[in-house]
Amino acid sequence: MDRYSLFLIAIALSLDAFGVALSIGLNPEIKNRNKLIFSISFGFFQFLFSLIGSLSGYYFVNCIGSLPEVIGGVIIAIVGVIMINDGMEHKEQCILFSPKMYIILGASVSIDALVVGFTALGTRKSYSLIFGYTMVIGTVTLIMSALAFVIAKHLKKLSIVARFADYIGGIILILFGIKMMFLG
């Protein structure tokens, strides 16, 4: 696989994390520490899941099918509902910033990396190549997530976005989850 193809795959895989990070970044209570942890979580799980998929090979693709997208979509849609609920109840502490949510969201945006690992990377014979490719995927995801948080920071300066941030973020996550479930 050439570098251009690898970079395109990494960008495509990171778009889920980008969308979720953008939605979370609209939350008025988010701190830089939360942004950093989410970015690291998204990048780490993209790396880990694509590595696991690569090492498992393409054998499992027929067994799994579209299940990863459905599972990831359901989880992301549920988080969207939680965000909207938090906005309606004006909770003091946002559930998004709990340690388990870093893991849940990191894993849910990375499930498709398993399939990419099975298919695009699973035929590689060299462990060092597989490790290098998956490191690129994780790094690109981390960078794209950080970029999404920067964009969200600027979007929050718009008064309408700041006022309805939880609702906007929640609706985006629900739509994103539905898209993942039905369109892959």
Which of 26-35, 144-153, 167-176 is predicted with the least confidence, judged by mean pLDDT? Answer: 167-176
Cα 72 to chain centroid distance, Å, stands at 9
* Beta carbons of 72 and 16 less than 8 angstroms apart: yes
- In degrees and rounded to multiples of 5, residue 128 shows phi and psi of -65, -35
Q: Report the share of the chain in percent with pLDDT over 90.
A: 28
The predicted-structure confidence for 82-130, as pLDDT tens digits, reads as follows 767 766 666 555 667 888 889 988 988 888 787 777 766 666 667 888 8
**Average per-residue pLDDT in the chain?**
81
